[in-house]
Structure 1
Amino acid sequence: MIIRLLTMLVAALSFAAAVPQTARADAGDFIGGAVVGGVVGYAIGKDQQKKKSRSTTRTYRSTIPSTSQGAQTQTALNYFGYNAGRVDGQVGHGTRSAIERYQASMGYPVNGYDFQPYQYDFLMQAYYWATSGGQATTQLSGQPLLMAYRQQVQTGSALAAAPQAAAPAVPVITPQEADDVTETTEASTASLPSLFSGGAGGPSLANRCSGVMLQTSTNGGYTTLSNMSDPDFALSEQFCLARSYAMAQGEELMQDIQGLTPDQVAAQCASYGDMLAPQVGALSINSKSEAETQVRKLALDSGLSPADLAATSKVCLAMGYRQDNMDTAVGSALMLVAMGEPAYGELVGHHLREGFGVQARRDLAMQWYDASLSALDAGSQAVFLPSQTDRPQLLRAAMVQSQ
């Protein structure tokens, strides 16, 4: 069924380059999770090149770029009743005023030109929660809904309970509907992991990061090299910050996907996570080298190019975190490392240190942290907050002090 679905979806994306067809027979299930991503990758690459040639930059003192992050901020502010105006990604007076109203209601320092990352992260966490079932469960809207989310985080009450009642609809294509990929039916909540279940019934990273962001807010901002007193918390902050950054990157890429609905992308990424679940499960017992070898073999068996797999993984990394599906998120990060992007190994280290999606193994986590930071030292491209040049030093100092 997965192969049948993917064949139809590939046909719907005929504008993209042809998908590689050669693969070993026993890799069929893996292709089920990756072929669409390969096609998507071509579309993403083409559209990103176009964007670079036509993009313009406006000068604002706000820390929010006039890009998808600005649009996401405007969308969330509007959703909670702060009225940022038209969603265009351009951070002007209306958006800054809305930020100040949000800051005031949350008890943050009020300065629309200085929208701190922890303030943005908490706003987006609340928005993801609300749109994934929190609003339907609480029957609240606007600022009261945001305050309800904050109250649940403060009291430690089960945020996981809200989305259970309203999991997203997932397209299901039956053999009778094979001639029309736009025909869908609503799937049961069992079709995808619960948005806040952690993938396989484990702890929720979304809940964890909401709590971290709240503590960061109480502390007055993120931990720095000069004020670090709790290295474990500093690593947790950076974990959640990298998660938010990966989600923002992936959502920007998803805007360039043509021919697939968000639910179809979600379904494919869930399948991708299922295919990588054995490799994710083995992370807690294998060395970093052994884990990479296994994933590279899986990638080779798929017959897809590294570029296709990397494009798939970046989209599915965001989707995995968006759905709190740890098999998809961790598996995508693992594949990116195996495909030659070692900076993503930081995420694998975070997961192994805190036990989200895998059994906690701090000793193995250090292998992934060290390899990722060593690659950055050697000139590898930073993928999380590249403008913060002192971030690798903060991570390394926190690693050393936390042992």
Structure 2
Amino acid sequence: MIFRLAATLVIAVSFAASTPQTAQADAGDFLGGAVVGGVVGYAIGKDQQKKKTRTTTRTYRPGIPSTTQGAQTQTALNYFGYNAGRVDGQVGRGTRSAIERYQATMGYPVNGYDFQPYQYDFLMQAYYWATSGGQATMQLSGQPLLMAYRQKLHSGSAVAAAPQAPAQTTPVATPQEVEPEAATAETQSASLPSLFSGGTGGPSLANRCSGVMLQTSTNGGYTTLSNMPDPDFALSEQFCLARSYAMARGEELLQDVQGLTPDQVAAQCDSYGDMLAPQVVALSLNSKSDAETQMRKLALDSGLSPEDLAATSKVCLAIGYRQDNMDTAVGSALMLVAMGEPAYGELIGHHLREGFGVQERRDLAMQWYDASLSALDAGSQAVFLPSQTDRPQLLRAAMVQAQ
């Protein structure tokens, strides 16, 4: 493993010293250099180790275990002034008390042991927005900043005037341009899909998901099988929820990358997205089968193993969503499907349905939805909310009703 890491880092250095003259570098040159040099340097050893040690039953108690989501929650709670204590990922009494104070502020049911996904997602969306420039725009901090963010979402101005990411020392993707108008809280449930749809160069998915989380909060929680007044909005909720899980998984893997800073990895994932951009554009033109065939050919030409490409894509999927770089995000999801992880096809279905990063094609979206759900029926591992066993049924019901 150490030899492998050292060798790939040498390749990364040689790549950096010889920048390609064209934007579309040869697949083998790029994948064999930039991405493998850093992102996959730690590679599959970590991922496979987690698979081997995964158990079917786990017991969770306050303070045990330390988790990435726990650390993210503590970081965001502390940022907004709820004092969850030291960021150690262990959700104990202090963190649960902070969660209860956050729930009380937001008007949620107060129970630190029942931290609902929509409550976590809204907290993290607010944190991402604030740390990407919202704090400087509002000139506020702590709980007033959180409440100002919620108020701006209600008025639509947080979507209309989303802050750009701060300047970086290495190249990163710039959030996409946002439409000048947004829906009010009362009309978001029905109008969000049409207001935010678009192709490449369209509006921000991060802002869209912030609006979805706001409406979910207003509704008192996620849509369920027994309560689905708006199937389109139910699919949007599941889109944003799957995005959050993909980000959390990739950021967890990113912590184990050795030899490169997060900004350097982000810059490499940005280039990864540039390379995959033609495949992303083709998603709106080709059938699912043709799109997978083209991506598998690209992967084969790279000379890398499916495991290495999958590990790279999981990291770059998270970074693509974090930076609103749809070429990186959608391309990474497509690579994961091509490398034998069909559950990620759900993301492609969502993108095609709503037109984020690709041209809207709801007919093609159904192919990706059907294939990912059929794979789950056949025993494929669920990657989004695996503990929610009725989620496939919810997706199917929403798909049928939304047609």
- Shorter-chain TM-score: which interval? 0.7 to 0.9
Match in the other structure for 1:328: 328
SS of match in other structure, 1:215: helix
Match in the other structure for 1:369: 369
* Aligned residue identity for 1:10: L
CA distance in 2, matches of 1:34, 1:402: 43
Deviations 1:177-226 (A, max 9, x none): xxxxxxxxxxxxxx433235489531111111111111111111111111
Are 1:94 and 2:94 counterparts? yes
* Aligned residue identity for 2:233: F
SS of match in other structure, 1:227: coil
Q: CA offset at residue 51 of structure 1?
A: 6.5
Q: CA offset at residue 380 of structure 1?
A: 0.8
Q: CA offset at residue 30 of structure 1?
A: 5.7
Are 1:41 and 2:40 counterparts? yes
* Aligned residue identity for 2:67: T
Kept in 2, the 8 Å contact 1:44–1:256? The answer is no
CA distance in 1, matches of 2:125, 2:32: 28
CA distance in 2, matches of 1:53, 1:326: 32
Kept in 2, the 8 Å contact 1:33–1:271? The answer is no
CA distance in 2, matches of 1:193, 1:36: 16
Are 1:83 and 2:83 counterparts? yes
Are 1:32 and 2:33 counterparts? no
CA distance in 2, matches of 1:159, 1:105: 22
Report which stretch shifted further, 311-320 or 37-46: 37-46
* Aligned residue identity for 1:385: L
CA distance in 1, matches of 2:97, 2:176: 32
Give runs of aligned pairs for residues 263-278 of structure 1, distance below 5 A. 263-278=263-278
Q: CA offset at residue 301 of structure 1?
A: 1.3
SS of match in other structure, 1:284: coil
Kept in 1, the 8 Å contact 2:250–2:318? The answer is yes
Match in the other structure for 2:385: 385
* Aligned residue identity for 1:275: M
Task: Indicate how the Cα distance of structure 1 residues 31 and 317 shifts in structure 2: closer, same or farther if over 3 A, else same.
Answer: farther
Match in the other structure for 1:23: none
Task: Indicate how the Cα distance of structure 1 residues 55 and 399 shifts in structure 2: closer, same or farther if over 3 A, else same.
Answer: closer
Are 1:192 and 2:172 counterparts? yes
* Aligned residue identity for 2:232: D
Are 1:157 and 2:137 counterparts? no
CA distance in 2, matches of 1:387, 1:341: 18
Q: CA offset at residue 155 of structure 1?
A: 1.1
CA distance in 2, matches of 1:282, 1:232: 25
CA distance in 1, matches of 2:84, 2:53: 25
* Aligned residue identity for 1:354: E
Task: Indicate how the Cα distance of structure 1 residues 38 and 82 shifts in structure 2: closer, same or farther if over 3 A, else same.
Answer: same
Structure 1 unaligned runs (5+)? 1-6, 15-25, 172-190
Task: Indicate how the Cα distance of structure 1 residues 33 and 319 shifts in structure 2: closer, same or farther if over 3 A, else same.
Answer: farther
Kept in 1, the 8 Å contact 2:62–2:93? The answer is no
Are 1:59 and 2:60 counterparts? yes
Report which stretch shifted further, 257-266 or 29-38: 29-38
Taking structure 2 as the reference length, the TM-score comes to 0.84
Q: CA offset at residue 133 of structure 1?
A: 1.3
Match in the other structure for 1:20: none
Deviations 1:74-98 (A, max 9, x none): 0110011100001111110100000
* Aligned residue identity for 1:32: F
Q: CA offset at residue 8 of structure 1?
A: 10
Q: CA offset at residue 227 of structure 1?
A: 1.1
Kept in 1, the 8 Å contact 2:242–2:347? The answer is yes
Deviations 1:292-345 (A, max 9, x none): 111111111111111111011000000000001111100000010011110000
CA distance in 2, matches of 1:55, 1:84: 28
Kept in 1, the 8 Å contact 2:103–2:109? The answer is yes
Q: CA offset at residue 50 of structure 1?
A: 6.0
Q: CA offset at residue 162 of structure 1?
A: 4.4
Q: CA offset at residue 138 of structure 1?
A: 2.0
CA distance in 2, matches of 1:167, 1:296: 36
Kept in 2, the 8 Å contact 1:343–1:382? The answer is yes
Match in the other structure for 1:222: 222
CA distance in 1, matches of 2:31, 2:80: 35
* Aligned residue identity for 1:45: I
Q: CA offset at residue 153 of structure 1?
A: 1.3
Match in the other structure for 1:354: 354
CA distance in 2, matches of 1:120, 1:288: 33
* Aligned residue identity for 1:282: A
* Aligned residue identity for 1:47: K
Q: Percent of counterpart pairs with the same letter?
A: 79
Kept in 1, the 8 Å contact 2:247–2:321? The answer is yes
CA distance in 2, matches of 1:273, 1:363: 25
SS of match in other structure, 1:41: coil
Task: Indicate how the Cα distance of structure 1 residues 61 and 237 shifts in structure 2: closer, same or farther if over 3 A, else same.
Answer: farther
CA distance in 1, matches of 2:381, 2:50: 21
Kept in 1, the 8 Å contact 2:80–2:142? The answer is yes
* Aligned residue identity for 2:42: A
Taking structure 1 as the reference length, the TM-score comes to 0.84
SS of match in other structure, 1:348: helix
CA distance in 1, matches of 2:50, 2:362: 41
Match in the other structure for 2:310: 310
Q: CA offset at residue 31 of structure 1?
A: 3.8
CA RMSD in angstroms comes to 2.6
CA distance in 2, matches of 1:263, 1:97: 34
Kept in 1, the 8 Å contact 2:225–2:394? The answer is yes
Match in the other structure for 2:10: 11
Q: CA offset at residue 34 of structure 1?
A: 6.1
Give runs of aligned pairs for residues 131-150 of structure 1, distance below 5 A. 131-150=131-150
* Aligned residue identity for 1:370: D
Match in the other structure for 2:338: 338
Task: Indicate how the Cα distance of structure 1 residues 49 and 305 shifts in structure 2: closer, same or farther if over 3 A, else same.
Answer: closer
